[in-house]
Amino acid sequence: MSGPLSGKTIVLGVTGSIAAFKAPQIVTRLVGQGANVIVVMTENATRFVTPLTFETLSGNAVVADMFPDRKAGMASLEEAASGPERLRHVHLAEAADLAIIAPATANIIGKMANGVADDFLSTELLAMTCPTIMAPAMNVRMMESDVVRENVEKLEARGIIFAEAEIGRLASGAVGKGRLADPDSIVMIALKLLLPKQDLAGRRVVVSAGPTREPVDPVRFIGNRSSGRMGYALAERALRRGADVVLVSGPSPLDPPDGVECICVETAREMLGVVMKSFAQADLLVMAAAPADYRPAEPSDVKIKKTAERLTLELVRTDDILSEAASVRREGQGIVGFALETNAELEEGRRKLREKNLDIIVVNNPLVEGAGFDTDTNVATILTRSGRELELAKMLKKDLADVILTEVISELGWG
């Protein structure tokens, strides 16, 4: 799978904690970013999550034993190293671009801090020279104990990065600091370590998101089911990659990402005005919003009473924001559009790409499983002006956002 982490090998160490149930989410997000993920499990970890779960999600054998005479479902080093072609005959410690230990128990933290190597994971950690992220998860009293704090300080002094544990209710019932960091936060740290180059630094990006509401009267409106999730994901990922981001948002229940300039609008006409003004000073417009195609010709100033059996509304076309932006684009500016279609998706996408003078269009069908409204996932095909067509499997919208931005950089020659 293509993505910003394509060509990167990440070793995910999973240790014996109840928080191990979150580790598959980390694998899914990393694979969605294009990474090759090798999971190394301690014996205790296999009591919480089966190796088969990780093998299915990563597409690689799980390493859980030093020797070939192992338990079923756990691969030896030789088997893991002979799986993907790029790992053949190569030691994991040499092949890894990054190691993540999540969850990291007090036990593995203590072993690493004091040079103990009595299982495969602790041995690999001592041999690795790549960046390492530790994501602790344990009881609050253990987290606050002197010995754990000393071990953490030792590792931090050696350059180990810690994904800080969260405060909340723990498995023991106690409330305090000790919950595993959110998988998205862990993956964000990984991305920053593996992608130190801010490939959108110095660029100003305008992203539109969400629906619009076209008033029928003071209490009713015409709208659609867009949640804004795709646009918000694009804004967040563009910001992370160094861009100066303006988010033009229709009504959405989502909170704008920290660091993004968010301008809220209600109608398609308002969105047009803000987008055009913002795009004039920008390098890229990503039109992920779903503005209404029609609006009432004459909205009522007062609430329409429910007196007649039928009510006829005269609708008129709203402005085509993409076409308007494309008509005034200057040389060097990029435009990305979205096409939501329920039939002949690719044909419609190619037509809109050409007629609207876009650089990229992202086509999806809301009737496809995983691509509907108000979901965290999407299934899309990316079409480019240069003729590239990239068909993508179901993935998180955050991961899709990174794929889209990577394609933009390639298509516009910004790399």
Residues annotated as catalytic are: 224
CA angle, 356 then 402 then 252, to 5°: 70
- Side-chain half-sphere exposure of 33, counting CA atoms within 13 A: 23
Q: Is 294 helix (H, G, I), strand (E, B) or coil?
A: strand
CA 177 to chain centre: 26
- In angstroms, the CA 154 to CA 163 distance is 15
What stretches of 166-228 show up as alpha helix (H) in DSSP? 183-194
- In angstroms, the CA 280 to CA 322 distance is 13
- Side-chain half-sphere exposure of 27, counting CA atoms within 13 A: 26
Residue 202 is classified by DSSP as T
Residue 254 has which token pair?
């989502």
**Residue 23: closest CA among 86, 101, 94, 98:** 101
Burial class (CB in 10 A: 0-12, 13-18, 19+), 330: exposed
Residue 75 has which token pair?
């691969």
Helix and strand numbers, DSSP H then E, in the chain: 14, 21
* Rg, C-alpha atoms of the chain: 25
Q: For residues 167, 101, 114 and 70, what is the CA-based torsion angle, rounded to 10 degrees?
A: 130
- In angstroms, the CA 284 to CA 206 distance is 6
Q: Which amino acid is at 272?
A: L
Are the beta carbons of 214 and 267 closer than 8 angstroms? yes
- Side-chain half-sphere exposure of 414, counting CA atoms within 13 A: 22
